[in-house]
Amino acid sequence: MSKISRRGFLFGGAAATGALVSASAGAAVGASLGAEAATEAANKANLTAVLKRRERFFGQHQNGIETELQTFTNFVAFDLKPETDAAAAARWFKLITDDIARLSVGEAPLADPTPQLAMGPARFTATLAVGPGFFDKLGLADKKPTGFEQLPAFNVDQLREEYSYGDVLLHISADDPIILSHGVRSLVRDSVGFAKVRYSQQGFSNAQGVVPGGVRQRNLMGQVDGTDNPEIGSSDFNNIVWVENGPDWLIGGTFLVFRRIAMQLGTWDALGRTDKELVIGRNLQNGAPLGKQNENDPIDFDAVDANGLKLIPEFAHIRRAHATNPTERIFRRPFNYEVGVTPDGEPDVGLLWTAYQRDISTQFLPIQKRLDQLDLLNKWTVPIGSAVWAVLPGVEQSANGDYLGKKLFQ
């Protein structure tokens, strides 16, 4: 038998081993490439699905409320021009009703100079609402809902005119920023003959598919946002949100409180997790009330720790915001905003906070008054914009010339 030298063994073994490794690696790479190709195909299909998804336009209620959060949004408010009367406002609302109907199915509005940007619906919605001043300016004071006025002043407020009030609101949203931009341009273009833009406030939420279905988004402070909301489509939701008694033109509509809330993240980020949870009254990881396991567990405001101190302090946001009677409930649909970073490195961020309800005076106001009195979260959140809106009911698909707000002008 011939001897195998150590050198021959090493080099021969290395060659054999290299062949085995190469074969194994080739198989692994082939499998990996196959998996990547399948994943890429699935991703492309999902992206196409995002583009094609649409929200209904016609119906008893406007869309954009009882709707899963879109990824991008823009709240555009207008002030009526002095020469705009009720007849002109009716023509305006007819025009934008047609625009919204087309954009909602991915079509370009009539006479659109950039129809190629109408690439698909991407769950486009645009919700039309009117402010308290709308009625007086158009000689419609007799149709103004009782008590429909801007909110009273709160101690925590540092309101700025450029983020507040207005006569008409278009809340426009979509899952694609270019489709949203095109929709905003189209609707503003058909509006500026009747009104001047007062403000345009852009916001965002999680991209589609990032947050599993049924899980709430987080705001930029890291909190789970929207706990205790009524379930969309439920009788509970209907009873909290939609107007059933009141002016005929408002039946099927709702009232919106819109607040721009700036966050002081520099000092918030300096807090430890325990302190943050005491301020909120909830576990930051899953949103559970302190002392509980899950987000929707009943809150025990009487629970104490080993030292006899309340687990949820008197100043905790959850305690101040909690309804004291069944009427104090609202539907929140907030978006985040980010303008950029200030020269000193402070993020210019916050919430475009929205609350929908039948009656602002009995639902939102009692909650806000308690928050204004003793909510430690006020140290890091400052309302800098505010407005109230009467959201018009939906429009039925018919041949009778129906449009958003038609009954208001009859």
Q: Which are the contacts of 41, defined by CB distance < 8 A and separation ≥ 6?
A: none
Inter-residue contact 100 to 58 (CB < 8 Å): no
Distance, in Å, from the CA atom of 234 to the CA atom of 208, rounded to the nearest integer, reads 23
Distance, in Å, from the CA atom of 343 to the CA atom of 306, rounded to the nearest integer, reads 45
Give me 33's structure tokens.
Answer: 């490439």
Phi first, then psi, for residue 377 (nearest 5°) are -60, -20
3 state SS of 17: helix
Distance, in Å, from the CA atom of 193 to the CA atom of 206, rounded to the nearest integer, reads 35
Distance, in Å, from the CA atom of 87 to the CA atom of 14, rounded to the nearest integer, reads 89
Inter-residue contact 142 to 136 (CB < 8 Å): no
225 assigned to active site: yes
Closest to 300 (Cα-Cα) out of 316, 308, 309, 312? 312
* Active-site hit among 225, 248, 297, 359: 225
Distance, in Å, from the CA atom of 349 to the CA atom of 344, rounded to the nearest integer, reads 14
Inter-residue contact 172 to 187 (CB < 8 Å): yes
Give me 196's structure tokens.
Answer: 């001047």
| HEC string for 124-162 | CEEEEEECHHHHHHCCCHHHCCCCCCCCCCCCCCCCCHH
Terminus-to-terminus CA distance in the chain, angstroms? 110
Distance, in Å, from the CA atom of 20 to the CA atom of 321, rounded to the nearest integer, reads 66
Closest to 257 (Cα-Cα) out of 326, 374, 195, 171? 171
| Number of residues that make up the chain | 410
Residues annotated as catalytic are 225
